[in-house]
Amino acid sequence: MSRNPFRYFKTSPEIVQLAVMMYVRFPLSLRNVEDLLHERGIDVCHESVRKWVDRFGPMFAGKIRVRRASYMRQITQWQWHLDEVFVKINGETHYLWRAVDHEGEVLESYVTKTRDKSAALRFLRKAMKRYGAPRTVVTDRLRSYGAAMKEIGNIDRQEVGRHLNNRAENSHLPFRRRERAMSRFRRMSNLQKFASTHASFHNHFNLEISATPDTNIGSAVAKDLGLPTRETLERVIRTVAYVRNICANHGRLWNRRLVKRIPKLKRFGDDLSVEKIGEQAQPENYIYNVLVVLCRMLLRQSPDTSFPARVAALITARPGHQQLALGFPANWESPPVWTDVND
């Protein structure tokens, strides 16, 4: 029988959890949390809040991490984004490494004194031990990533490009705001503890992520659209939403590789255009595959829809080099999704 961690505390566990959540989740100082609790009729000293965060923060974060990691191991790790950021501790530069997946989930936070191959290797092994190996790893141009991945044996999965790693770089912003409110860190161990705790709380409140067990409704909708699982449906929706945002902001789809990919779908295998990533064949991240999946889902719901025919007519009217720039293969009219329309 496990001991009650609150057995010597007069304050209720609900108040302790509320205070820890407020301090870790939002850029508030200890005295700000004290004032907010006082407004709710809870008389707590700011020093008590500090001790609660130090003692119970890792415990709450650990429970969140275990629950989410057990789910994350059951699904395919599609794409990771790796990045490091400078953090000053007593005037000395340290490095906070972060691994973020394609949905914004902060997978791992690791603090080191250097950012060489050895540090990158320890960071990668720690993340892969907990979550498994991803299919694609997006990094910046730091050579340490390439050297570490070469030693691990997955250098062929690395992607480096301008703006590709914005997902990881943006993940630093909430931590930076929290860091300024705390007036920096004084010890490396404190930075590591708080970075891990903050990442778990951030994941818990991240509305982009749906890390919950499969539901009957989601599975039913996916099946109705001709997709195998709810997870696949969610990835398709995110990819389509990403393309929609590009169009809404007058972005360019011509000759553009999308950040998000359509997941690999066996039942659409004859329609999708694939490319080799290492030893695996994955759908190309061009607009062509997005259109194929949209056409298939629409045909599933409404067999008499004219959307595929209209798309085919638009593409046929364009020169061959423009078709290739949109990701359309040379024999794009041969796959069933287009031949069924023509018939």
pLDDT of the residue at 215: 53
Phi, psi torsion values for 99, nearest 5 degrees: -115, 125
pLDDT of the residue at 177: 84
Cα end-to-end span (Å), the chain? 69
- What sign does the CA torsion over 232, 237, 242, 243 have? positive
Strands (DSSP E) along the chain, which ranges? Answer: 79-89, 92-101, 106-112, 136-139, 158-160, 274-277, 280-283
Residue 287: DSSP 8-state = H
Question: How far is Cα 231 from Cα 213, in angstroms, rounded to an integer?
Answer: 10
pLDDT of the residue at 134: 85
pLDDT of the residue at 34: 93
Taking phi over 0 as left and psi of -120 to 50 as alpha, with beta for the rest, 149 belongs to: alpha
Question: How far is Cα 341 from Cα 343, in angstroms, rounded to an integer?
Answer: 5
- Tally helices (H) and strands (E) across the chain: 14, 7
Give the global pTM. Answer: 0.57
Question: How far is Cα 145 from Cα 83, in angstroms, rounded to an integer?
Answer: 9
Specify whether the CB–CB gap between 150 and 124 falls below 8 A: no
Q: What is the largest CA-CA distance in the chain?
A: 76
Question: How far is Cα 109 from Cα 123, in angstroms, rounded to an integer?
Answer: 8
pLDDT of the residue at 121: 93
The DSSP H or E segment spanning 152 is helix 143-152
> Radius of gyration of the chain from Cα atoms?
24
Residue 210 identity (one-letter amino acid): S
pLDDT of the residue at 214: 44
Residue 148 identity (one-letter amino acid): A
Domains and CATH numbers, the chain: 75-189 (3.30.420.10), 216-342 (no CATH)
Question: How far is Cα 267 from Cα 232, in angstroms, rounded to an integer?
Answer: 12
Q: What is the pLDDT along the chain (343 residues), one digit of tens a residue?
A: 567 888 888 888 889 989 998 998 888 889 999 999 998 888 999 999 999 999 999 888 888 887 776 666 656 567 889 999 999 888 889 999 999 987 778 888 999 999 999 999 999 999 888 888 888 899 988 999 999 999 998 888 888 876 788 888 888 888 888 888 777 788 888 889 888 888 888 888 775 544 444 456 777 888 888 888 887 888 888 888 888 888 887 888 888 888 888 888 887 777 888 887 766 778 888 899 899 999 988 888 888 888 888 998 899 998 888 888 888 988 888 888 887 655 5
